[in-house]
Amino acid sequence: MIDETDDRAVASRRDLVAGAVALAAAAGAAGSAQAQTSDPHLRFLNPAGISAPRGYTHVVEVAGPGRTVYIAGQIGIDPTGKVPGDFRAQAAQVFENLKVALAAVGGKFEHVVKLNNYLTDIAAQIGTFREVRDRYVNTASPPASTTIQVPALARPGLLIEVEAVAVLPAPSVHRL
């Protein structure tokens, strides 16, 4: 048997939660820093109440039509199969590989909305990583980013791996 009191309580809680979410969203939107981008479907936000990030964006919102592209972790191997021995060279090769992957789908770094970065020695490598990354990404609207330290990567000698998610405009549809 269904209890009408329970149904009203659930509906009341649902209304309360919906109201709280709307209020929080309004407060967050009013107090957040928003970077401008040329793509009206992308919004880069650093909400008030979260520490100010350095070189990345806390929240990237994607709205409307578009294509989401997931790029597998890129490592510092050049097209001939060589791996440079130092971190800076590997990081540069990683971002060159990402550039090629983006170009393959008609994208650029301005379309990247998320980076996942894996470093083998974060304390020693993070500064160099940021320098190299900032030569490629849009520093006015940097992608959301997560950087973690890992004990090792898939091959010996690798020091960095970076995954990317990009959102590109929807392709034009031609009708006959």
Output the CATH code of domain 65-168: 3.30.1330.40
Domain residues of the chain, as ranges? Answer: 65-168
Q: List, for residues 95-148, the tens digit of each pLDDT value.
A: 999 999 999 988 999 999 999 999 999 999 999 999 999 999 988 889 999 999
Q: Which of 19-33, 46-60, 122-136 has the least mean pLDDT?
A: 19-33
Question: Average pLDDT in the 153-171 region?
Answer: 93
Residue 26 bridge partners (DSSP): none
Is the distance from CB of 146 to CB of 117 less than 8 angstroms? yes
User: Quick one: pLDDT at residue 173?
Assistant: 58
How far apart CA 132 and CA 99 sit, in angstroms, is: 13
Model-level pTM?
0.69
- Residue in 63, 66, 52, 72 with CA at minimum distance from that of residue 115: 72
Q: Which of 23-37, 95-109, 125-139, 158-172 has the least mean pLDDT?
A: 23-37
Say yes or no to pLDDT of 40 above 60. yes
